[in-house]
Amino acid sequence: MRITQVEAIPYSLPVARVARFASGSITRADLVLVRVCTDEGLVGRAEAQPRPYTYGETQASIVAAIRDWLSPALEGLDPLRIELAHERCAALEGNVVARGAVDLALWDLAGQILGRPCRELLGGYADDVAAAHMVSYGEPAAMAAEALEYRERFGIRTFKVKVGREVAVDVAACAAIRDAVPEAELYVDANRGWSVEQALRAGDELGELGILAIEEPIAIDDAAGRRRLAERWAVPLVGDESCISLAHTDRALNEGAVRMVSVKAARTGFTESRRIVALCEARNVGVIAGSQYEGAVGALATAALAPALAATARRAAEVMNYTDLADDVLAEPIEIRDGRIVPPDAPGLGIEIDEDKLAHYRVDEAPALV
Ligand code: MUC
Ligand code: MG
């Protein structure tokens, strides 16, 4: 079997709830469906989420990177040679989201070829994993109501609360969520939004609310500031934007501030994510299977990775933000059972696309039928 082409289809989904956080907002889910096509008709699929404020990639740049660079690099290759594919794709600098999605689609294809779900191919540690929901900016009372809704509707017990605003607002939001769901596990993510002074204050006040970790509090280039915070805090500083590749993660750990890492299938695929997890295990650093506000197709990738490895299976995985969208392109709904996401048993990622919906939401010209 040979890869014939990698397609990139841009599509845009409406949101039911606008996500706002310190580094940006999502008012419409602009996504790219990646399709690794083969001469035997099997197609590997994955979703890429453009996040210009984090990686500099846009929907158009992801499509161009795949069409002009990654597809030509992979054409003619046996799709099971994933390491070789990874090496070839890594010849393109940056573009982590485009490259990550191609890697996920290759693994989806491998699963289909071998007849096994990706969760098993990646390690098969557990069958499912606890799900965490990320609560983005709003009035504190509305954020608390959202957490309670996810507790009651899905059984979610772990929440990542977006902070990085005025410290008083951030603390009020976390206190409101703590009151609404007293037993919840809470951690926060400032997306680099605080100054060092704000972070110092916030850390003290949030500590009293039992916050378990603090993600990217300040500018990631401020190594001295990050170390100062980490030394003062009893809870770990989580690396996210500072850990966007294996090499970045290595550097962040060497700097000494990061004591937990958000590993995201959406940017390091499965191949590099596994290397990051191994690095963290060697350094006795915890990992969280993190999110990039995926759509439902993207959530299936995290749902495969998180239970597959012992280190990621230990903590709730951030998989619930597809529920912020008003619609998606999956033919079958994702299964959330008692606060856990259950990956499909189908080969690969178990992605079945509703082609009518994709045709409706795609924002390029569909190729003419011949
Ligand atoms: C996170 O953990 O920072 C915010 C933007 C994005 O792409 O993902 C998030 C979540
Ligand atoms: Mg983050």
Where does ligand 1 bind, in terms of residues with CB under 6 Å? 21, 51, 54, 189, 191, 240, 262, 290-293
- Going across the sheet that includes 43-48, the strands are 3-21, 24-38, 43-48
Instruction: Give the nearest ligand 1 atom to 292 CA.
Output: 8
pLDDT tens figures, 129-147: 999 999 999 999 999 999 9
Least confidently predicted of 186-190, 283-287, 363-367: 363-367
Catalytic residue among 103, 264, 294, 324: 264
Q: What backbone phi and psi angles, to 5 degrees, belong to 173?
A: -65, -45
Q: Residue 357: what residue type? A: K
Give the three-state DSSP class for 164.
coil
Give the three-state DSSP class for 285.
coil
pLDDT at 365: 75
| Residue 300 alpha carbon to ligand 2 centre in Å | 19
The first and second tokens of residue 108, run together, are: 């989806």
243 pLDDT higher than 60: yes
Residue 275, sorted as left (phi over 0), alpha (psi -120 to 50) or beta, turns out to be: alpha
For this structure, is 215 an active site residue? yes
pLDDT at 179: 98
366 pLDDT higher than 80: no
Given a contact cutoff of 8 angstroms between Cβ atoms, the answer to whether 174 and 160 are in contact is no
In which residue are the tokens 């540690």 written? 125
Give the three-state DSSP class for 265.
helix
The first and second tokens of residue 270, run together, are: 């499965």
pLDDT confidence bin for 369, thresholds 50/70/90: low
Instruction: Give the nearest ligand 1 atom to 160 CA.
Output: 2
368 pLDDT higher than 70: no
Task: Dihedral sign for Cα 359, 361, 362, 365, please.
Answer: positive
Instruction: Give percent above pLDDT 90 in the chain.
Output: 98
CA angle 47, 52, 58 (to 5 degrees): 55
For this structure, is 162 an active site residue? yes
Residue 134, sorted as left (phi over 0), alpha (psi -120 to 50) or beta, turns out to be: beta
User: Closest Cα to residue 38, out of 109, 90, 108?
Assistant: 109
Q: Give strand ranges (E) for 118-257.
A: 129-135, 158-162, 185-189, 214-215, 237-239
pLDDT tens figures, 98-109: 999 999 999 999
370 pLDDT higher than 60: no
Catalytic residue among 7, 112, 128, 162: 162
Kindly report each contact of residues 111-117 with a partner whose C-beta sits within 8 Å and lies 24 or more positions away, as own/partner: 111/347, 111/348, 111/349, 112/42, 112/44, 112/347, 112/348, 113/1, 113/42, 113/79, 113/80, 114/347, 115/347, 116/347, 117/304, 117/343, 117/344, 117/345, 117/346, 117/347, 117/348, 117/349, 117/350
pLDDT tens figures, 15-65: 999 999 999 999 999 999 999 999 999 999 999 999 999 999 999 999 999
Q: Mean pLDDT across the stretch 187-193? A: 98
The pairing of beta strand 24-38 with beta strand 258-263: unpaired
pLDDT confidence bin for 367, thresholds 50/70/90: low
Residue 154, sorted as left (phi over 0), alpha (psi -120 to 50) or beta, turns out to be: alpha
| Residue 22 alpha carbon to ligand 2 centre in Å | 10
Instruction: Give the nearest ligand 1 atom to 191 CA.
Output: 3
Closest-approaching ligand to the CA atom of 53: 1
The first and second tokens of residue 272, run together, are: 């590099």
Closest-approaching ligand to the CA atom of 49: 1
Cα–Cα distance, 263 to 269 (Å, whole number): 10
* DSSP, res 45: E
Find the radius of gyration of the CA atoms of the chain: 20
Which residues are registered as beta bridge partners of 185? 158
| Residue 261 alpha carbon to ligand 2 centre in Å | 10
DSSP string of 59-84, one letter each residue: HHHHHHHIIIIIHHHHTT--TT-HHH
pLDDT tens figures, 191-239: 999 999 999 999 999 999 999 999 999 999 999 999 999 999 999 999 9
pLDDT tens figures, 274-324: 999 999 999 999 999 999 999 999 999 999 999 999 999 999 999 999 999
Pocket perturbation via mutation, ligand 1, pick of 18, 31, 49, 51 by most ligand atoms within 8 A of CB: 51
In which residue are the tokens 């590993």 written? 263
Q: Which residues contact 254 (CB under 8 A, 6 or more apart)?
A: none
